[in-house]
């Protein structure tokens, strides 16, 4: 089932409107075994994160204790209970990436974005997170911006990488495209 996206659309929906859309999703998944993770993924796609109000609704609709729902959200690093920026920047700090300069790449990202791991920039464009392995060890160090993999990243190239996403956003705004 495809979820309607709202977090990156030109027209922002209110939380109440999003919760109404969530109710429709929950109705479709109510009797589906193993529905919790797909519902959480859809919900995060709708809201951009997983607010407590949505988690409580999911818990009730799927007949699961809130502690179970919150436990799943806490276990999987993909899920976030805090709003994220438009672009999610993840730095691999698995063994190969770490040995080949991943920590220095992370430091350069922190300096360029002026945020720490787990934070979002003031303009809500970027959020910074750490990953343990992206399965691209031969290309280390690796970062991902959204779904884009950047390989053999050097700290000196971080500003150029980030500017691709900033100029992309500016171009879409000027052209009237969706963000």
pLDDT in tens, 31-87: 999 999 999 999 998 998 999 999 999 999 999 999 999 999 999 878 989 888 899
The domain spans of the chain are 15-75, 87-175
- DSSP code of residue 63: T
Q: What percent of the chain has pLDDT over 70?
A: 88
pLDDT in tens, 134-148: 999 999 999 999 999
Query: Is-contact 179 169, C-beta < 8 A?
Result: yes
Q: What is the mean pLDDT of residues 95-106?
A: 97
Provide CATH code, domain 87-175: 3.40.30.10
> Is pLDDT above 90 for 111?
yes
Give the pLDDT band of residue 171 (cuts 50, 70, 90): low
Residue 60 vs residues 63, 64, 66, 79, 148: alpha-carbon distances, Å: 5, 6, 8, 19, 36
Give the pLDDT band of residue 174 (cuts 50, 70, 90): low
């Amino acid at each position: 089932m495809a979820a309607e996206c709202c977090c990156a659309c030109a027209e922002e929906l209110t939380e109440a409107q999003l919760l109404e859309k969530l109710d429709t999703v929950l109705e479709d998944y109510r009797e589906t075994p193993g529905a919790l993770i797909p519902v959480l993924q859809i919900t995060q796609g709708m809201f951009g994160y997983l607010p407590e109000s949505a988690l409580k609704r999911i818990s009730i609709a799927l007949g699961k204790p809130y502690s179970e729902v919150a436990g799943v959200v806490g276990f999987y690093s993909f899920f976030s209970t805090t709003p994220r920026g438009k672009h999610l920047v993840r730095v691999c700090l698995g063994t190969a990436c770490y040995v080949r300069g991943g920590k220095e790449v992370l430091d350069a990202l922190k300096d360029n974005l002026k945020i720490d791991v787990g934070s979002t920039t003031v303009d809500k464009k970027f959020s910074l997170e750490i990953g343990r392995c992206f399965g691209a060890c031969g290309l280390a160090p690796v970062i991902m911006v959204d779904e884009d993999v950047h390989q053999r990243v050097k700290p000196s190239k971080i500003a150029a990488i980030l500017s691709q996403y900033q100029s992309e956003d500016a171009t879409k705004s000027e052209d009237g495209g969706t963000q």
